[in-house]
Amino acid sequence: MSLEQYKDVWAYCVREGDSLTRPSLEILAAARKVADKIGQKAVAVILGYGLDRVVENAIAHGADAVVYADEPWLEKYQCLPYTRVLCEMAEKMKPYAFLFVADELGRDLSPRVAYRLNTGLATDNIDLAVEDYYFGPTNTTYRNILAQIRPDFATRVAKIYTPRHRPQMASIRPGNFEPLRRDPSRRGELIRFRPTPVEEDFKVKILEEAIQRKSQIDLEGADIIISLGMGILRDGEGNPRNPREAFTLVSEILELIRRNYGLKGEIGATRALIYSELKELEGLITSERQVGQTGRTVAPQIYIAVGISGAVQHKVGMIKSKKIVAINSDRDAPIFELAHYAIKDDLYKVLPRLRSLLAGG
Amino acid sequence: MLIVVLIKGVPARTTQVLTVSGVLKREEMELVLNPHDARALEAAFYLKRVVGGKIICLSMGPEPKISPIMKELFEPKEESRLVPRIIFPGVDHCILLSDRRMAGADTWATSYTLAKGIEKILQIHREAVERLEKAIGSDELYEIAKTLYHNGLIPHEIYSELPTIRDSLLARYRSGQIDEAGLRDGLRRYKDGLGRFIILAGMKTTDGETGNTGPQTAEALGQMMGEIIPSVAFVREMEIDPSGEYVVVLRALGRIIQKLLVPLPCLLTLHTEYEPKIPSPVHLKKARYANYIPQKSRIDVWNAEFIGADPSKLGLMGSPTIVGPGYEVGRPQAQKVIGESLVFARDVERFEWGGKTYGPFKAGDLAPELPVELLREMRAKGWVRVFTLEDMLNELFGGLKVVSRTV
């Protein structure tokens, strides 16, 4: 079968109540963007049980069609049956591209789907484009293929192509596409798929399942992150300070920013600070807050590094933040290499000043 | 039980990576253990303590770069440049898949290769038992058992030279406690048990960051073996049933917390926050029977032929994805130093000064490298001034207008 026979851009969407999760709406918008470029359909792919309202909402949010399976045995997410159903759908309907959200569920599911479909998977993309690509080893120019744009080694972006295989599979990082506005007047095609369960797929048993409260520390969902490093243990003159002071100041600053601008804030920390397990910060600075190589990778609108020297391991976790502010009294701290705004001063002077400015004083 | 830990060498300094037409040149960089793999090694140690067996470390990559990492995994040191601190007594055996044709692999081709390696590991262990089965009744039985045992291919429960284990299968056969049928039955049971292996991996690597290779290796191996091998990513807690039949794991997918019963064989990827459980001491003695003689400091290097890999599925050519040219991003356009940088206080039209034209400039722009005299003049006129904390807040938040404030 020739590559040209593969049509439409699919987005695997996860249901939330009667609609879809926000990252799912984002990848639907990404599918819309690519579909419009190649003059094909954007298709939402949904698995679950009791999906009547959900599929309508997918159309209202920009899908031209919904391919779905609505079965009691698909009510809860399970990697193996979900993999099989998605592969059967894709083998039958032959999409040009297949997008997933680059979150934990997407990372559990999409690699298996890609391997079984014998195609590539470009993960963590921040944008998509459609391009021609010349591939030397086969001496062929592949027309109108997906350029999957992903960050590469912290300071670069790379374009990944899947020229010889279909569907072209990509996972998209949350926060890079704006969901399309809901338009209830939109009409689209609903294609219900009726899969048969295969016993072997249910050899993993769900013993318990719970949905966590949203109140947990959500670094990835924050608009602004203020992160603390070992520098908070001393002031600019080198006198020891209670790091709790910095934590409190930063909490107050984030609260003011939330009130003034409606921005969601969160406190981050370096690995060094977390693993020094200071009594003063017990229960406040926990590993859930770790930004960096072995912790979270974040890309908020604003990232403020307080008392952080800027080890490579930390930098790779925050380098993609849109605006970076660094506060450090060490003028040569490597963190300043990344900073859009450099405050080379004592954090115990800067933070109170910031607080009072934000409070309107 | 065979416990296979997938490890990867990653660049020590993730920001200094050489790429030539998009392909990682690993042989030109120092590689260290992917930090996430430490969790998989801890999980492996936990499993070995409960059910016994051997921890086999499997990797793919250039031998000169991966061997030093593997050497340190046999006997982890307190301080090491290559391996993070792990509470872990060391792996039993290391296998490295290394072949020029494997270079430049994406996650699909890597997973295919690793799965072929695991298939080979299973095959070697099965063949070891089959050699014993064939030797039953011959004089060579015990000599063959001894060799296999010292090469770490059969466990103490089959043959042992430990003074504390006097009731291995072969010892009982030799003393007449069991007959030939009993011996055959015992070997068959052990051989069936080899199919209940476990594969462990870190949740992602710090270079590629994809997290694909774990689940894809399970899928690839399942296809090769003609059965479904489950994969569970992001495991935070794990307990194995002492029977070795299944594990119970806890994992979070975003806000969904799942407790799953996963039958072996399976593949798990371990979350950064995974911490091994402390095994109950009642299992420790039994577990020892399932252990093998460690093959310390032995790194087996296997090429494509040895693992029976299809060359068209290896390396760059076997990879569906192609990495195009990368380009630099992420350097700040221009840095403003609070209390030091000079910025324009207002829009300034193009103007002449000292026979040269300057501008136009916009309010907030950094004043470029202008003659000191000119800067002094402009400061005097109020055209430029020092960038302040207030200015920064204005730029970040679009003005200090208070939307609402509780008094």
* pLDDT at residue A153, as a whole number: 55
- Whether the per-residue pLDDT at A60 is higher than 90: the answer is yes
Q: Quick one: DSSP state of residue A113?
A: H
List all residues of chain A from 154 to 193 with a beta carbon under 8 Å from chain B: 154-165
Q: Which domains does chain B have, with CATH numbers?
A: 2-313 (3.40.50.620), 342-397 (3.40.5)
**Does A357 contact chain B (CB < 8 Å)?**
yes
Residues of CATH 3.40.50.1220 domain(s) within chain A? 224-358
A43-57, B85-99, B200-214, B319-333: segment of lowest average pLDDT = B319-333
Q: How confident is the model at residue B77 (pLDDT cuts 50, 70, 90)?
A: confident
Whole-prediction pTM value? 0.81
Higher pLDDT among residues B401 and A299, named by residue: A299
A91-100, A149-158, A299-308, B162-171: segment of lowest average pLDDT = A149-158
* pLDDT at residue B314, as a whole number: 97
CB contact under 8 A, A338 and B218: no
Facing A157 at nearest CB: one of B215, B261, B326: B326
Interface test with chain B among A153, A161, A172, A208, by most B beta carbons within 10 Å: A153
Closest approach of B233 to chain A, Cα-based (Å) = 6
Contact between A194 and A240 (Cβ < 8 Å) = no
Contact between A308 and A326 (Cβ < 8 Å) = yes
Q: How confident is the model at residue A1 (pLDDT cuts 50, 70, 90)?
A: low
- Whether the per-residue pLDDT at B18 is higher than 60: the answer is no
CB contact under 8 A, B322 and A161: yes
Chain B hits for A344, CB-CB cut-off 8 Å, are 337-340
* pLDDT at residue A311, as a whole number: 84
Closest approach of B67 to chain A, Cα-based (Å) = 23
Q: How confident is the model at residue B170 (pLDDT cuts 50, 70, 90)?
A: very high
* pLDDT at residue A263, as a whole number: 92
CB contact under 8 A, A104 and B108: no
Residues of CATH 3.40.50.620 domain(s) within chain A? 3-202
Interface test with chain A among B116, B210, B264, by most A beta carbons within 10 Å: B210
* pLDDT at residue B86, as a whole number: 83
pLDDT 10s digits, B209-259: 899 999 999 999 999 999 999 999 999 999 999 999 999 999 999 889 999
CB contact under 8 A, A302 and B396: yes
Of the candidates B313, B300, B315, B319, the residue with the CA atom closest to the CA atom of residue B120: B300
- Whether the per-residue pLDDT at A33 is higher than 90: the answer is yes
Chain B hits for A151, CB-CB cut-off 8 Å, are 329
* pLDDT at residue B254, as a whole number: 85
Q: Which fold has domain A3-202?
A: Rossmann fold (3.40.50)
CATH class entry, domain A224-358: alpha beta
pLDDT 10s digits, A238-270: 999 999 999 999 999 999 999 999 999 999 999
Higher pLDDT among residues A317 and B148, named by residue: B148
CB contact under 8 A, A214 and B228: no
**Does A312 contact chain B (CB < 8 Å)?**
yes
Average pLDDT over residues B200-216: 92
Facing A338 at nearest CB: one of B108, B261, B332: B332
Chain A hits for B234, CB-CB cut-off 8 Å, are 104, 107-108
- Whether the per-residue pLDDT at B171 is higher than 90: the answer is yes
- Whether the per-residue pLDDT at B20 is higher than 50: the answer is no
Facing A342 at nearest CB: one of B272, B333, B337: B337
Contact between B205 and B10 (Cβ < 8 Å) = yes
Residue B183's alpha-carbon distances to A203, A348, B135, B179, B370, in angstroms, are: 32, 75, 12, 6, 91
Residue of A nearest to B402 (CA): A260
pLDDT 10s digits, A67-80: 999 999 999 999 99
Coil vs helix vs strand at B320: coil
The per-residue DSSP string of A127-193 comes to EEEEEEEEEGGGTEEEEEEEEEEEEETTTEEEEEE-TTSSSEEEEE-TTSSPPPPP-TT---EEEE-
Average pLDDT over residues B177-198: 97
Residue of B nearest to A301 (CA): B396
Contact between B291 and B155 (Cβ < 8 Å) = yes
CB contact under 8 A, A209 and B258: yes
Interface test with chain A among B114, B234, B255, by most A beta carbons within 10 Å: B255
How many CA atoms does the CB half-sphere of B19 hold within 13 Å? 20
Q: What ipTM score was computed for the predicted complex, to two decimals? A: 0.83
pLDDT 10s digits, B302-330: 999 999 999 999 999 999 999 887 776 65
Integer Cα distance of B229 and A83 in angstroms: 12
* pLDDT at residue B403, as a whole number: 44
Average pLDDT over residues A295-300: 82
- Residue labelled with tokens 């993609």: A320
